[in-house]
Amino acid sequence: MPSASTTASMPVVVGAEPSDSFDSSVSAGSSGASAAAAPADTRLSPSSPAFRRMSLALFAAGMAAFALLYSTQALLPAISADLGVSAAQASWTVSAATGALALFVLPLSALSERFGRRTLMTYSLVVAVGVALLVPLAPNVGWLIALRAVQGAALAGLPASAMAYLAEEVRPKALIAAIGLFVAGNSIGGMSGRIVTGWVAQLWGWRAALASVALMALVCAVLFRLLLPRARNFRPGTLNPRVLAKTVGGHLSDPLLRRLYAIGALFMTVFGAVYTVIGYRLVEAPFNLPQGVVGSIFLVYLVGTLSSAGAGRLVARTGRRGALYLAGSTTAAGLLLSLSDSLAGVLAGLVLITAGFFAGHAVASSSVSHTAKSGRAQASALYQSAYYLGSSAGGTLGAMAFHAGGWSATVTLGLLAVAGVAGITLYGTRCARAQRRGSLVVANS
């Protein structure tokens, strides 16, 4: 597995796998990458103490990132009531953060090629936590949105750098599992942040709720810095804009990577729309739930923790595209079930949506790291950019749909996005089959 850091100062060579598929088994693709890598004994294996420290450190980082990034999402009804703004206006406190992350993730990933993954992740968390301590003091919605945008831009240094760090420091056979644990940290952070803010907001208001999340993220940032092992396989490159542009262009010209980017964006469109709007639905009739109970609804994120951590086993059984089909159909079933006027039906729908989303995200993001043979930080950054643009679009469009046509309109938006995932995956299946038939013709000629 070539070091991703070296690609900032060298031409990039990017190509899909021979079958344009991740299905042929992770181990087969990984063994070829291992031959060109640094000595295998320098990379971490699941049995080593350093691997466990790294997993816990990145779990904490992922937890802090998601808790901060979506800290206002469960509070949107309270923010709307206190500041006198509509659901669509309040949703920008989420969309501004995710949109800024999407815009800054690529340039910050380039900085990680020069200064190191560990260093950039540390600075990202420090700045994001610092801004989080200021967010509760915002005097109006304009300042709140602006501070949230700065926070999102700071967090942009974390996700792509984490993926590149894992690709460089973890043995290939353990890569999907390691990324799954990082994504699991995302789900725990998203869940705990929303639960804490819900109950704190009910007792002391939404500003105190945001302060509590900032303190929780501070603890996670300290743990991250203390636990994360120093990089063994990072080699700094130069910040060359032309080489960076060539690397990015190479990734965008890869049809498999383009499909994975689109899949990540569409999955996150569903997730952003559902979880931005669900609070408004549950505080209204026929549910009329208090803010603390609405925050506790996010306990369903535990399902996402399990589904993302189990993504490696799912791919081993069904293949990458099979796992994506399963994730998409699970998400669609959850959307339809959430139309129920029964609270139990809505909760069951959220469970399925969350399980499908996190499984699909873990499969798509790990496939990006596997497919990109060089420039992995940029490949992951492009995925994260598409992913968070989907979140920003989903949050805003979901709120607009809810304002225009209620929950059914938001569900319709989600189903359209899931149909897009299915269509892209089906197209990839047909391309892979055609490529295999072509390979057989050449082999038999």
Residue 12 confidence (pLDDT)? 29
Residues 389-429: tens digit of each pLDDT: 999 999 999 999 998 999 999 999 999 999 999 999 999 88
Confidence of residue 3 (pLDDT cuts 50, 70, 90): very low
Average pLDDT over residues 274-294: 90
Question: Picking from 116-130, 318-332, 355-369, which range would have the lowest pLDDT averaged per residue?
Answer: 355-369
How many whole angstroms from its chain centre is CA 383? 9
Confidence of residue 9 (pLDDT cuts 50, 70, 90): very low
Residues 246-262: tens digit of each pLDDT: 888 999 999 999 999 99
Residue with the larger pLDDT of the pair 295 and 45: 295
Residue with the larger pLDDT of the pair 445 and 421: 421
Q: What percent of the chain has pLDDT over 90?
A: 47
Residue 20 confidence (pLDDT)? 36
Q: Are 30 and 1 in contact (CB under 8 A)?
A: yes
Residue 29 confidence (pLDDT)? 40
Confidence of residue 439 (pLDDT cuts 50, 70, 90): low
What is the C-alpha separation between 356 and 336, in angstroms, rounded? 13
Of 173-177, 198-202, 258-262, 292-296, highest mean pLDDT = 258-262
Average pLDDT over residues 36-48: 61
Residues 202-221: tens digit of each pLDDT: 899 999 999 999 999 999 99
List Cβ neighbours of 258 (8 Å cut-off, separation of 6 or more). 252
Residue 325 confidence (pLDDT)? 94
Confidence of residue 28 (pLDDT cuts 50, 70, 90): very low
What is the C-alpha separation between 15 and 4, in angstroms, rounded? 15
Average pLDDT over residues 269-285: 92
Average pLDDT, whole number, for the chain? 83
Residue 314 confidence (pLDDT)? 83
Q: What is the pTM of this model?
A: 0.74
What is the C-alpha separation between 107 and 236, in angstroms, rounded? 16
Q: What percent of the chain has pLDDT over 70?
A: 88
Dihedrals phi, psi of 229, to nearest 5 degrees: -65, 150
Residue 225 carries which side chain, given as an amino acid letter?
R
Q: Are 366 and 180 in contact (CB under 8 A)?
A: yes
Average pLDDT over residues 21-41: 41
How many whole angstroms from its chain centre is CA 365? 8
Residues 142-172: tens digit of each pLDDT: 999 999 999 999 999 887 688 778 878 888 7
User: CA of 236: how far to CAs of 121, 204, 262, in Å?
Assistant: 15, 47, 30
Residue 160 confidence (pLDDT)? 67
Residues 364-381: tens digit of each pLDDT: 988 887 788 777 778 888
Residue 11 preceded by cis peptide, ω within 30 = no
What is the C-alpha separation between 194 and 388, in angstroms, rounded? 19
